[in-house]
Structure 1
Amino acid sequence: MKSTVPNVLPTPQSALRGGLISLALPTLLSSLGSSITNVSLPTLAQVFGASFQDVQWVVIAYLLAITTLIVGVGRLGDIISRRTLLLAGLGLFMLASLGCAVAPTIWWLIAARAAQGLGGAVMMAITLALVGETISKDKVGRAMGLLGTLSAVGTALGPTLGGVLIAGFGWQSIFLINLPLGGVALFCVYRYLPQTDPQQVTKQARFDFVGMALLGLTLALFSLAMTLGQGHFGSLNSLLLLGTAVAASAFVWVERKVASPLVQLALLRQPILSSGLLTNMLVSTVIMTSFVVGPFYLAHGLELAPQQVGLAMSAGPLIAALAGVPSGYLVDRFGAAQMISLGLLGVCLGALALSMMSPTQGVLGYILPICLITAGYALFQAANNTAVIKQVGIERRGVASGLLNLARNLGFIIGASAMGGIFALASAASDIRLGSAAGLHLTYLVAAVLAGLGLLMALWSQFYRRGQPATQE
């Protein structure tokens, strides 16, 4: 029987709020899934009698599944109903969470986490693509800001919530908590989101399974090359990078040959889209620097206690959460292009300030530039996501959303590996306090250069945009 769900959301504020909640809850769940397990690793190692190297895969499996599959599920959302796919992703996420909670072995748990990552990839890619279909054009920036806020809240809340749940109810509770939250999200998506009908040309397209497999292999090899070795780049990492190059070449060759490619390579030649993706990766690399370098500098350079380090590290995520919605309002009010440049300027200035900071300025001298960086990042994300999603046609918004999330994840991976390596190299001094300060200065100098490159690309894209006709919304 044909669905009676309307093709557009009703106009009352309650329906608009319902649509926003339907997009926000999956975003919160996917980000919570990536951060809530970190605090459980010592407990899981003890429960399952697993080594630290084995138990790390509880975290890696989730992130690897998202990174390798997110573009593919985004493209799938272009071919079938995005609402249906989001419901399926939520259902898989909940089922995999239950599988995690009842896992009898560590490898069962790791496999269930990979399945949970597939559900998380669907939620991350499809919610972003659905913004353009469920929210009016003049409020897209606000919706993007809200999703950014919920993503930051999930990331920041995860370790604290995980610790409380494990202490009170056992390690299984960090996975079981997803069942009631997922149930509410399922209801909201079913009740409030429109049943979309893919474009006729997209409905007739075949899904590019070969392209998805090759892209997934490329991303998996690259991710492993950047994460294995615990900061020591050896022959295995080199072989993995060589495999990455071979798999990437095969992917490009296949995409040029197939009638309905996973990623239209011509899409990546659009200056606005390519600039948005590259800048997103650069800025995400800068953001990851604070998570990698910050704890070492605060503990060794400023000699703070662990509790004080935790409080100082929470400043950035808190600012990102608070800045998300106001950033969206600014994007709607002044336009995405100007806000992209302003956000990148904030990131660049904050990183430059940290590259010149003296330990004598204390913890405040560290926190203030970090707050500027994260506020700039929140503004950039809301503006950049809005610009990219508006730039592509509705039939390609799923894959564009997947590419945006992929660029961000690759930036995080590169930041954790490369920026961590730069800090380790620069801080190799006999005096650990002076070494940490030197490492911070060089690392954030590199970060400022990366943010500056992103700003130049954004300004070039803005100049290009002025000469273009209005894009399809």
Structure 2
Amino acid sequence: MRGPTPAGAEPRRASPARRPPLGWTLAALSLSMLLPSLSTSIANVGLPAMAAAFDAAFNEVQWVVIAYLLAVTTLIVGAGRLGDIAGRRRLLLGGIAVFTLATLLCGLAPNLPLLVAARALQGAGAACMMALTMAFVGESVPKERTGSVMGLLGTMSAVGTALGPSLGGVLIAVSGWRAVFLIGVPLGLLAFALTLRLPSGSAPATGAARGRFDTAGTALLALALGAYALAMTIEATAFGPPAIGLLAVSGAALGLFVIIERRAASPLLTLSMFRDPVLAAGLTTSALVSTVMMTTLVVGPFHLSRALGLDPASVGLAMSAGPAVAALAGVPAGRATDRFGPEAMVIVGLGGVIGGTAALSLMPVAAGVLGYVLPLVTVTAGYALFQAANNTAVMKDVSPHQRGLVSGMVNLSRNLGLITGASVMGAIFAFASGTSEVTTAASAKVARGTHWTFAVATLLVALGLAVVLALRARSRRSPGRRRTGPSSGRTGSSDLAEPPSPHHRSQKT
């Protein structure tokens, strides 16, 4: 039994009643955000070495990437909801432990099937880390600094994405492909040790607010998202019967998911939450902008190498400009969000992305490397501002027992965008180029594909901006609605009938 801390005495460990220094909290959250992003990008550069080591075809070794992304995408909402029920700190520690163990197994895997299985397990741990890191901001960071911290987390995500290819290339050259995974083990152990110092935060939901974990809903959502992801990747640029069949499975599973969620006593997703204009706009634009960001990673290498004739080292250097700018812009973007408000900065960020993609769709090949890199920098700077502002707008006034759920939904929308960008936008690029063999296509064809693909990307982000403006107008016309749905575990449309909170959205705009 623990008594009160005597006056003047300093406990050796942080307790729920005493927060650790903010620096420790930021270090733990930053590392928990960096590692999943680093693991997403660092494995790509090792695929050729893995294919050679296991004597595997590309479509086989590609599952090293797909398994990780599928696990993250299908489990991230369930991880957020489970954190709300069982305790976010406990589940975050468990996720880091699973991630670290799976990372070790990846580095020791004796064959490709075991490596793919270990990557899926690593993705499950990463889903917990990504879903719960943002949720912790609301409980461990002063509210007036939320935007700055969200910007920092966006920076760490961008740093992980940017660092992966360069770090992986060095590790493979020095120690082989296994070092790509083994380097993450000590980092995972450090993240676990730092997270132990985090406060326990809000107590897990109890009684009626706790409910039960929605196993059926989680399984159906995983099936719907998994089938969708497979449909988008199973046939590369083609779209035949297997992809159509998988999309049919995805649609049927999604329909059953909606039916079950409407009837469940403790649903995984409270569908009435989507009536909240801020949440609906945030999830929609997050998916659309993430689709465009993945497009830059898919189209960029081909445009720089085939259309502009750069060697691989120069291609890598040019491609690093975008993630580097996103990393540098993250913290200033967060501060701008705190100063000017998330709603205004979301619009400014989307405007930057639209300007950059429009320039890429029109820029002639004669403009050279700068003609590609400068618009790319504009896109990524706009993305950094959008991400900090959108995450702040979505998470700022969420009730304590829903922070994990909403954080998981934001990450889910982002991962759906990444899958769509890598598959659908890649197919548009190949179609517009007039060939499925983009690696050997003429420079003029590749340039044409680039222009058409970024024209489509511009339309997508413009659609996102229209959604933001329309839902913002709707929010102003309905000032009596709460910022979020249930705050105490209740479900249904009655959630929206509660009186507005002191921090109601309409008072800020």
Whether these two folds match at TM > 0.5 is: yes
3-state DSSP class of the match of 1:263? coil
In the other structure, the counterpart of 1:281 is: 287
Deviations 1:170-212 (A, max 9, x none): 3222222222111211111111333431233566310001100
Query: Residues of 1 paired with 2:118 and 2:321: CA distance?
Result: 33
Query: Residues of 2 paired with 1:445 and 1:8: CA distance?
Result: 53
Query: Residues of 2 paired with 1:425 and 1:45: CA distance?
Result: 27
Is residue 135 of structure 1 aligned with residue 128 of structure 2? no
In the other structure, the counterpart of 2:472 is: 462
Deviations 1:297-333 (A, max 9, x none): 1112222222221111111111111111110000011
In the other structure, the counterpart of 2:326 is: 320
Is residue 258 of structure 1 aligned with residue 267 of structure 2? no
In the other structure, the counterpart of 1:301 is: 307
1:285-364 matches, within 5 Å, as: 285-364=291-370
Among 2, 16, 19, which residue is 1:7 paired with? 16
Is residue 230 of structure 1 aligned with residue 240 of structure 2? no
Where structure 1 has 5 or more consecutive residues not aligned to the other structure, the ranges are none
The percentage of aligned residue pairs carrying the same residue is 52
Normalised to the residue count of structure 1, the TM-score between the two structures is: 0.95
The residue type equivalent to 1:411 in the other structure is G
8 Å Cα contact 2:14-2:198 kept in structure 1: no
Among 453, 457, 462, which residue is 1:452 paired with? 462
8 Å Cα contact 1:15-1:192 kept in structure 2: no
Query: Residues of 2 paired with 1:2 and 1:67: CA distance?
Result: 41
Distance apart, 1:109 and its partner CA: 1.2
3-state DSSP class of the match of 2:389? helix
1:27-426 matches, within 5 Å, as: 27-200=33-206, 204-426=210-432
8 Å Cα contact 2:89-2:198 kept in structure 1: no
The residue type equivalent to 1:184 in the other structure is L
Where structure 2 has 5 or more consecutive residues not aligned to the other structure, the ranges are 4-12, 484-500, 504-509
Query: Residues of 2 paired with 1:59 and 1:465: CA distance?
Result: 40
Query: Residues of 1 paired with 2:17 and 2:237: CA distance?
Result: 50
Query: Residues of 2 paired with 1:2 and 1:186: CA distance?
Result: 25
Query: Residues of 1 paired with 2:239 and 2:127: CA distance?
Result: 29
* Count of residues in Structure 1 that have an aligned counterpart in Structure 2: 470
Query: Residues of 1 paired with 2:311 and 2:104: CA distance?
Result: 37
Structure 1 stretch displaced more, 382-391 or 421-430? 421-430
The residue type equivalent to 1:174 in the other structure is V
The residue type equivalent to 1:438 in the other structure is R
- RMSD over aligned CA atoms reads 1.9
Distance apart, 1:431 and its partner CA: 7.9
In the other structure, the counterpart of 2:506 is: none
The residue type equivalent to 2:443 in the other structure is R
Among 431, 434, 443, which residue is 1:433 paired with? 443
Query: Residues of 1 paired with 2:311 and 2:177: CA distance?
Result: 27
Query: Residues of 1 paired with 2:468 and 2:395: CA distance?
Result: 16
Query: Residues of 1 paired with 2:404 and 2:334: CA distance?
Result: 21
Query: Residues of 1 paired with 2:74 and 2:252: CA distance?
Result: 16
8 Å Cα contact 1:9-1:15 kept in structure 2: no
Query: Residues of 1 paired with 2:144 and 2:167: CA distance?
Result: 35
The residue type equivalent to 1:154 in the other structure is G
Structure 1 stretch displaced more, 268-277 or 421-430? 421-430
Query: Residues of 2 paired with 1:299 and 1:284: CA distance?
Result: 24
* Consecutive aligned runs of 4 or more in structure 1 exceeding 4 Å deviation: 1-5, 469-473
Deviations 1:196-231 (A, max 9, x none): 312335663100011000000000000000011111
Deviations 1:350-378 (A, max 9, x none): 11111111111111111111111100001
Query: Residues of 2 paired with 1:362 and 1:282: CA distance?
Result: 28
Query: Residues of 2 paired with 1:316 and 1:123: CA distance?
Result: 25
Query: Residues of 2 paired with 1:431 and 1:245: CA distance?
Result: 35
Deviations 1:226-274 (A, max 9, x none): 0111111111000000011111011111111110000011112211111
Query: Residues of 2 paired with 1:195 and 1:286: CA distance?
Result: 35
8 Å Cα contact 1:34-1:63 kept in structure 2: yes
8 Å Cα contact 1:8-1:134 kept in structure 2: no
Query: Residues of 2 paired with 1:111 and 1:165: CA distance?
Result: 23
